[in-house]
Amino acid sequence: EPEVTQTPSHQVTQMGQEVILRCVPISNHLYFYWYRQILGQKVEFLVSFYNNEISEKSEIFDDQFSVERPDGSNFTLKIRSTKLEDSAMYFCASSERAVNTEAFFGQGTRLTVV
């Protein structure tokens, strides 16, 4: 069964450093998403991406964050100058269409900022 894969599964970084979280969406999917889950809290939408541009972003997704689809398979989330409060599980998701379809989630990358 096709699945969304994320790497790495766990990343530890020092405060102020830049991190790139990587995702390989399901191959025939056109819509890509990043979500965040701070430990013990709910999953929060960060950004959606379609046709090589951001289609929607939440208040959380400020100038510190950026997304990119550098090639035909990868979808990345870059966090510049990480802060302690960026520590969370980051989930990538993809869907075939924008509507009438579900999003499939990866296993997540646990980011720990120290």
Partner 1 sequence: AQSVTQPDIHITVSEGASLELRCNYSYGATPYLFWYVQSPGQGLQLLLKYFSGDTLVQGIKGFEAEFKRSQSSFNLRKPSVHWSDAAEYFCAVRGGADGLTFGKGTHLIIQP
Options 43, 64, 74, 112; binder of partner 1; rule CB under 8 A: 43
What residue type is 60 in one-letter code?
Answer: I
**Cα(26)–Cα(80) distance, integer angstroms:** 26
Tell the smallest beta-carbon distance from residue 91 to partner 1 (Å). 6
Tell the smallest beta-carbon distance from residue 113 to partner 1 (Å). 19
What residue type is 26 in one-letter code?
Answer: I
Please report whether residue 84 would count as binding partner 1 according to CB under 8 A. no
Please report whether residue 65 would count as binding partner 1 according to CB under 8 A. no
From the list 14-22, 48-56, 64-72, 77-85, the region that binds partner 1 by CB under 8 A is 48-56
Exposure letters 92-108 (e unless 16+ CB within 10 A, then b) = bbbbeeeeeeebbbbeb
**Distance of alpha carbon 13 from the chain centroid:** 17
Tokens of 59: 């208040």
Options 35, 75, 82, 94; binder of partner 1; rule CB under 8 A: 35
Which residues lie near partner 1 (CB under 8 A)?
A: 31, 33, 35, 41-48, 55-56, 58, 91, 98-100, 102-108
